[in-house]
Chains A and B, each alone.
Chain A
Amino acid sequence: MSRRDFSERDIHMALDGELPGDERTAYEAWLEANAEMKAKSARYAADREALRTAFNGVLDEPVPVRLSKVVLGEAPVVRVSPSRSRWWLAAAAAAILAIGGAGGYLAGIGRLGLENTAEDQLAEEAIAAHVIYAAETRHAVEVPASDKDHLQSWLSNQVGLKLVAPDLAAQGFQLVGGRLLPAGQGKAAMLLYEDVKGERISLFVTAESAAKAKGTYGEDDGPEAVYWLDKGYGCAVVGSLPREQLAAVAKSAYGQLLAGLQS
């Protein structure tokens, strides 16, 4: 049986049936030994039941005729854009009322300290930096690639890591340059690369991290970040490339960065 450290993440996975079967026993034992986590798991499970109870009744309601008519073709299908129905106004109103009506719902969240995990924060900062600077033509970087030696030593000193700009020529990307950015409580180095078509990707490196994680992060139509965090450094590669291509570039960049850090 696999032995590993469980975390809050596993509570969600267990609840959603995503925990591998062979980890289940170890997970249950971990839960038994952690009163706080066990209570949390019980609350989440109860909330899920309440959610299901609240909405299950909809399944038993008769289907409104106007909906079945659409499918059966008894009403002409003329509208493909949701311009006529204004359901989204109701959605926005509901959200505002829920916030305003309960007065301080959001303040409540703030007080209870819902915070991003380290990896989400790194990925979000890296994406934000990419969105701002990769779109810049004249001011994308502070130090250009032509001054690479200075760029590397300056960023290394500022960030507190031995930084070597990866060579991504094999993936079709050339270094444009870099800049220094704030990240969390500290600083981050951003290195910008470009291919012949003008497609840009960026590397975001910070010395601020205690967590160990790796993964992919992105919103539906924005750039994605592939990130790695380990003790003492965090790195994210951001771009709008097809997922496999971004993963390949990220892997190469990460391997070289890591070799540089340890050299």
Chain B
Amino acid sequence: MDEKKAAILGEIPRLRRYARSLLRDRDSADDLVQDCLERALVRLDNWQTGESPRRWLFTIMHHLFIDQMRKVNRRGEAAMLPLETSEAQAAPAEQVESIASREIVDALQAISPDRRAALVMVAIEGFSYAEAANILGVPAGTLMSRIARGRDELRALLDDTARRRSIRIVEK
């Protein structure tokens, strides 16, 4: 096996984690990773020697994600979603999640894709601001404001969930 392919294989777990945080559903996330890997292999020649495979692959995957999210917004495809898909979404398969994990994963899905990507890139994937800005293709100032607003929004959603839960308990 050549070195490039070995390096790509080694990044799959990280790509899957990033995709899962963007999309939540396991199969959908792996579909995104598969799209990313296929595109990467077709463009193997574009990969400069010395360039980090992680950065290269994350950039490809991020573009796939954002392009598709834009198209969805433009065409309003979500509105025509078949029911069974949305039901499948509502009950994620065989995942054992703690309530806290579940709540934060739900909240993460509710913030805008741009902010979600920026926050995840730095907070979970551990990229520096400079690396993340480069991968996402935005100026550092934009990245920072997305991270700040993303965190703010996430916390607001969690506070709101906690408030609801306490109301429910009181009502019992």
- Chain A 65-86, CB-CB to B under 8 Å as 1, else 0, gives 0111011110001011010011
- Measured in the bound complex, the distance between the Cα atoms of B30 and A51 in whole Å is 19
CB–CB A108/B160 < 8 A:
yes
Which of A9, A59, A91, A216 is the most central at the interface, judged by chain B CB atoms within 10 Å of its CB? A91
CB–CB A70/B37 < 8 A:
yes
A92-B160 contact in complex given A16-B122, A51-B108, A59-B13, C-beta closer than 8 Å: no
Contacts of A9 in B (CB 8 A): 144, 148
CB–CB A50/B100 < 8 A:
yes
- Interchain CB contact (< 8 A) of B77 among A12, A87, A89: A89
> Interface with B: A21-29, A40-48, A159-167, which one?
A40-48
Interface secondary structure of A, over-half rule: helix
- Measured in the bound complex, the distance between the Cα atoms of B100 and A52 in whole Å is 12
Contacts of B108 in A (CB 8 A): 51
A58-B20 contact in complex given A91-B69, A218-B139, C-beta closer than 8 Å: yes
Contacts of B129 in A (CB 8 A): 16, 18
- Measured in the bound complex, the distance between the Cα atoms of B120 and A116 in whole Å is 21
Residue A8 is within 8 A (CB to CB) of chain B in the complex? yes
Contacts of B166 in A (CB 8 A): none
- Interchain CB contact (< 8 A) of B41 among A18, A48, A70: A70
Min CB gap A106→B, angstroms: 8
> In the complex, what residue of chain B is closest to A53 when comparing beta carbons?
B101
Min CB gap B57→A, angstroms: 11
Contacts of B27 in A (CB 8 A): 87, 90
Residue A135 is within 8 A (CB to CB) of chain B in the complex? no
CB–CB B156/A17 < 8 A:
no
CB–CB A93/B138 < 8 A:
no
Min CB gap A129→B, angstroms: 18
Min CB gap A161→B, angstroms: 24
Contacts of B114 in A (CB 8 A): 219
- Interchain CB contact (< 8 A) of A85 among B34, B77, B81: B34
- Interchain CB contact (< 8 A) of B158 among A15, A47, A54, A67: A47
Min CB gap A218→B, angstroms: 6
Contacts of B134 in A (CB 8 A): none
Contacts of A72 in B (CB 8 A): 1, 5, 9
- Interchain CB contact (< 8 A) of B25 among A47, A71, A90: A90
Residue A241 is within 8 A (CB to CB) of chain B in the complex? no
> In the complex, what residue of chain B is closest to A54 when comparing beta carbons?
B101
Contacts of B21 in A (CB 8 A): 51, 55
CB–CB B153/A90 < 8 A:
no
Residue B55 is within 8 A (CB to CB) of chain A in the complex? no
Contacts of A63 in B (CB 8 A): 9, 12-13, 16
- Beyond the given A15-B123, A63-B13, could you list 13 further A-B residue pairs with CB under 8 A, ordered by the A residue number? A67-B33, A67-B34, A71-B9, A71-B41, A77-B42, A87-B23, A88-B65, A89-B77, A90-B25, A91-B113, A94-B23, A98-B109, A220-B136
Which 10 pairs, one residue from A and one from B, show the smallest C-beta to C-beta distance?
A92-B78, A90-B28, A88-B68, A215-B141, A108-B160, A85-B31, A87-B28, A87-B31, A98-B110, A54-B101
Q: Which residues of A contact B (CB under 8 A)?
A: 8-9, 12-13, 15-18, 43-44, 47-48, 50-56, 58-59, 61, 63-64, 66-68, 70-73, 77, 79-80, 82, 85-99, 101-102, 104-106, 108-109, 112, 114, 117, 120, 215-220, 224, 243
15 contacts between A and B (CB under 8 A): A18-B128, A51-B104, A54-B104, A64-B30, A70-B41, A85-B32, A87-B27, A89-B77, A91-B22, A94-B25, A96-B78, A97-B86, A216-B139, A216-B142, A219-B142
